[in-house]
Structure 1
């Protein structure tokens, strides 16, 4: 597993949130040049009084920025879904869970992964050619 440095985590998270450098700078009351310095690793030891507002603006923990945890923060769509869910009362939350569960049973709304393995240890040339054709056809499935 590759450990990401704080500068990479800041930049990656900002991009995941579709946030510009200017927007992040405004959220933490810094200028955009400072944000670029954070993202390029030009600032060696970042003070906690910067880490705290930065983590809040990026919706991650200070621990995540510092690399003490690799828990992936929520994507923008996940945040939106969770925020809408949290606005519902108990009855609405139960209904939301039911409807999302129903969506997962409809093929056009789910991602399907097909595992295919082929061993050609004892396969004839004809069988190998058939396997190759099957793999080529997978994109059309």
Structure 2
């Protein structure tokens, strides 16, 4: 998996928007977008560390020196179910769903 895909997948997995991740890392939303598109491949050391911390992964994963650990099979099945259910939702509905999931995680619902 490419670094750009790792960043995007982990951001989505954590339920973060590009803007939220940018705020955590201290960069612009455009920078996150360029990292995820592969437009920027030479990240600064500090950015790698902050990004890894925000995504709860090792900097070695971002650098491509280490693979992401495989999620347990049960987790994979849950993700497949959610993906099937959300398949025909609009972008606005998906954003709302992400927000709701984040609120559940934070214990607000």
* Alpha-carbon distance in structure 1 between the residues aligned to 2:68 and 2:20: 24
Residue of structure 1 in register with 2:4 after alignment? 7
Larger proportion of helix: 2
Moved over 4 A (4+): none
Q: Residues 7-64 of structure 1, C-alpha deviation per residue, up to 9 Å, x if partnerless?
A: 1110010011111111100101111111100100111211111100000000000001
* Alpha-carbon distance in structure 1 between the residues aligned to 2:51 and 2:70: 14
Residue of structure 2 in register with 1:58 after alignment? 55
* Structure 2 unaligned blocks of 5 or more: 76-109
* Alpha-carbon distance in structure 2 between the residues aligned to 1:68 and 1:34: 22
Whether 1:37 and 2:34 are equivalent positions in the alignment is yes
> Which among 39, 44, 49 is matched to residue 46 of structure 2?
49
Taking structure 1 as the reference length, the TM-score comes to 0.48
* Structure 1 unaligned blocks of 5 or more: 79-141
* Alpha-carbon distance in structure 1 between the residues aligned to 2:9 and 2:30: 17
The structure with the larger Rg is 1
Q: Residues 66-118 of structure 1, C-alpha deviation per residue, up to 9 Å, x if partnerless?
A: 2211132779xx9xxxxxxxxxxxxxxxxxxxxxxxxxxxxxxxxxxxxxxxx
* Alpha-carbon distance in structure 1 between the residues aligned to 2:11 and 2:41: 19
Aligned residues: 73
* Alpha-carbon distance in structure 2 between the residues aligned to 1:69 and 1:19: 23
Q: CA RMSD in A?
A: 2.0
* Alpha-carbon distance in structure 1 between the residues aligned to 2:71 and 2:21: 17
